[in-house]
Amino acid sequence: MVSASTSPRVHPAWLPDAALAPLGARRVLVDLGRDAGPVGATVVEEVRRATAAHGGALTVGDDASSTDGHDLVLRVAPDGPDHGFTRLRTGGVTVVVAPDATGLLHGLHDVVRAGDAAFGADHAPVTSRPVAPVRMLDHWDNIDVHPVMGQVERGYAGGSIFYADGRVREDLSRVADYARLLGSIGINAVAINNVNVHRTEARLLTDGLADVARVADLFRPHGVRTYLSVSFASPVVLGGLTTSDPADPDVQAWWAAAADRVYATIPDFGGFVVKADSEGQPGPFAYGRDHADGANLLARALRPHGGTVFWRAFVYNHEQDWRDRRTDRARAAYDHFAPLDGRFDENVVLQVKYGPIDFQPREPISPVLAAMPRTRLAVELQVTQEYTGHQKHVCYLGPLWSQVLGFPLAEDATRDVARIVSGLPGHRDTPSGDLPAGGITAVSNVGDDEFWTGHPLAQANLYAYGRLAWNPEADPVELLDEWIGLTFPGADPRVRATLHTLMDDSWLTYEAYTAPLGVGFMVDPGRGHYGPNVDGYEYSKWGTYHFADRDGIGVDRTVATGTGYAGQYPSPWRETYEDLATCPDELLLFFHHVPYGHVLHSGKTVVQHVYDSRADAVDVVTSWVDAWAALDGLVPDGLHARVAERLDEQVRSATEWRDQVRTYFFRKSGVPDATGRPIY
């Protein structure tokens, strides 16, 4: 089922009609075989709409032997590649073969991305399979508007596309459009409510199931399974029991009955996402149980139905004492979960934030991902820009995620994060054996804004996430180029060049005017982590300190003299981070407390690096304003105006970051800027 938005004000993102013109102008045969189901119907309808708009022709048939008279053949064949597709061109015909309709849908969109190049010279078969078995987006949407977090927690693009006025929307046409976007980039799982499960949202598991089924009906035709975030306290909150103890037979029976009801309503339901014993959410600790006990309780309820529990490892003490230099929030996930390796049931996936703190622009990779070889793991990313500018700043995150997924964390730095979470060995010529596979998850950045993501250019983050989850080895700059070509088909070449100028290195530019050298969290708590507040968390019960004084700055996380966090890593990273001489500059202040005059590998002192990088980054952002202004008339007016407004705010905010951080370091250190630039 293909949805055309009912509102002319909804931006088509990377699937405008013009992007399908190369396909739509051809003669296309779709051969689905038997039982292609709703995804097969989507493939047919996508081609039907494209050919109707662009003068091509569609034939739907089951003649597996004939390709005569067609430019493109889309075929379901039992011998196609598992979970993927193969594309080839022979005798002037482009052929896409997949083992099922979902693979064929992904192959269809591969042709869309290739454009006219898909119909060029003959070429041998090229096979594409997703690396991660689960490629999920988690929506932190609330049914009721939360008094602090709003309707979408960490949402910067308006309200929820799922909920309005205290209930699931009657008109779910935006959800249908969204499902089409996700199917086109290979996302296959969506959790539709906040991991912080409040009382109304908890009832989606019971009273709200019929509405959840309506949502699932819209995702299913695009190969996307629906999940719910659930409260660990549901037996008490919803079932009237006096306990949620995993060992209690009545609790076990309640969850089993709840799972039975869900699957009776939604037979292809994916499973549960759970945040427990974290930031006030209930969990098994209240009953003297551990997280394996809690996760396995839900897993055993889901197992008869083929469901999965995604259990978040974001567990730490949020009532810390800043006076205690041994307290370290970064240690918490490893300390809680590493001892539990091997105790989780097979249908539990432990969902681990990519860094040990909280989605900072720069963090080391979480050591938990290397510490649990007998556990299914998923790495969690954040598409929504909580710590990267609230979708008011241009900050293309593809390069960050590419570094995360490609980081060689385990097995003597031979096995990267993508291969860990996908159950693949480090050495690519080694058989995979029975390595557990989880997947890649991320927090969505979508709301009911006209442009989906508030900032039109933030759509590129959603696009790149899906494409990197499918193929973590993809070049993020090439993916950006792909997104530009789809979003602005046929545009003046200056559009593409300008967008690359703004976006290619925008993550590094953002990092350069915010918290330096990996220290993180110099954000304003009162504005939801937007804008500078250098001491915003310095005396906070939530942790995340920088310990700046007159002599130096940074957190000593070494084994020798600090919190011991560096010792949670396997070799060679343990030794790399422990030693001041080998610790990378970009993570220096995460692992070490150093004098302001400490000389970086770059040759600059810490304090001069801070002065220079902040000032230079503002100059870069300021230059973007004129570069974008020059595209007036070359992109749609509304989109141009929205981006121009956001760029003005980015310059204002970056300037504030520059001045506050430079002044703070000067007042602490007493060291002037060697360039003589003003410090306030």
- Catalytic residues, which ones? 279, 358, 386
**Is 568 buried (19+), middle (13-18) or exposed (0-12) by CB count in 10 A?**
buried
Write the CA distances from 619 to 209, 311, 622, 650, integer angstroms.
52, 43, 5, 12
Phi-psi region of 40 (alpha: psi -120 to 50; beta: other; left: phi over 0): alpha
CB count, 10 Å around CB of 100?
22
For tokens 């929506």, the residue is 139
Write the CA distances from 629 to 148, 266, 510, 591, 651, integer angstroms.
36, 49, 21, 42, 14
Structure tokens at 150: 């709003």
Structure tokens at 93: 């015909």
Distance CA 344, CA 292 (A): 5
Contact of 553 with 519, CB cutoff 8 Å:
yes
Contact of 136 with 380, CB cutoff 8 Å:
no
DSSP 354: S
Structure tokens at 567: 């010792």
For tokens 């915003």, the residue is 536
Contact of 634 with 523, CB cutoff 8 Å:
no
Q: Where are the alpha helices (DSSP H) in 90-198?
A: 101-114, 173-184
The angle formed by the CA atoms of residues 536, 540 and 541, to the nearest 5 degrees, is 155
SS3 416: strand
**Is 91 buried (19+), middle (13-18) or exposed (0-12) by CB count in 10 A?**
exposed
One-letter amino acid for residue 573 of the chain: W
Distance CA 512, CA 370 (A): 29
Which residues lie closer than 8 Å to 429 by C-beta, 6 or more apart? none
Radius of gyration of the chain (CA): 25
One-letter amino acid for residue 304 of the chain: P
